[in-house]
Amino acid sequence: MNKGLFISLSVIILGFSIFFILGINTAPAITYFPDDEDSSFTSANSNLELFLPKGNDSYQLAWTTDSRSDKEMYLRQDASLLFDNGRLRGVRSKWVQDTDHIQIEEKLVSEDSSFFQVISFHHGEIHYPNEQIKSIRQMSADHLYVIDSPNTSLDAFKTPENEFESEWKNLLNRTTKQQLLYHWNRLFTYFDISGESYLSVPLTSLHKYNNEPLPTMTRDETNKIMGQLWEGLYKNYIIPAVNTENNQLQSYIPIILFDKQNQHLLVLFELNAKKYKLIQQYAN
């Protein structure tokens, strides 16, 4: 590893202390309803790109989400969370009635080398006669490594294409992981939880359950759990974060704990120096 990597590591550990919560309309809430087998998303995507260098010490990041359903729905909602080296950098949510399409586009200024991760939840609510309500849902995610070192030119990539980028990926992954493990272990200790009883999944990795079920569960059971999980996350994590002043926001990637006995799940997170444990019991 070259000298420039070690110099930048100290900058990364210090972190970028300015966080942005972007404008959000918090009503109505995301609500879980049974699956609508006659409706679906035709597309659902999140994307991060390096937009333009902003100056000698900063750059612009383009953060977008886009989803389209196969028909207009009574209510369409998308919520997206952006993390920077494991720390919450921004939240964006949008809801529109009687539409099949939602797009969110944001540009924000950042500096220093970073591992950016975005996780988004796309939701549609369909109303039928006789007050019957059903829903569809899907997750999407993306990531971006940005190298902003005084010894190299500005660079960004999703998958490394050479040894230099591979070294940076490993460095940023290791730094982020160490920071998150320290944070999560404090939560485990505070709530006196044994990790051996749970399958631990970071919030930013939940999208893999779009295509695979939770261990020993069916696809339908997993779908229901994910829908109810995001209902709780919206109410207890996203809205409180949005209602926090920008310069006071402090949070890391929440950790989701799936009970190996298939009875419940836990969500552990810290928001603005307060620790939280959410419990979601699985319905029979």
Predicted pLDDT of residue 176: 98
**50-76: pLDDT as tens digits:** 987 766 678 999 999 999 999 999 999
What are the backbone angles phi and psi of residue 150, rounded to the nearest 5°?
Answer: -65, -15
CB-based contact 270:251 (threshold 8 Å): yes
Q: What is the DSSP string of 114-168?
A: EEEEEEEEEEEEEEEGGGEEEEEEEEEEEEEEEE--TTS--EEESS--SHHHHHH
Q: Whole-model pTM above 0.95?
A: no
* Spans of all domains in the chain: 3-164, 180-281
In sequence order, the β-bridge partners of residue 46 are 65
Exposed (0-12), middle (13-18) or buried (19+): which is 82, by Cβ within 10 Å?
A: buried
Q: Could you tell me which CATH number the domain at 3-164 has? A: 2.60.40
Q: Which residues lie below 8 Å from residue 184, measured CB to CB, with a gap of 6+? A: 200, 252, 255, 268
**119-161: pLDDT as tens digits:** 999 999 999 998 899 999 999 999 999 999 888 888 999 999 9
The mean pLDDT of 72-96, rounded to a whole number, is: 94
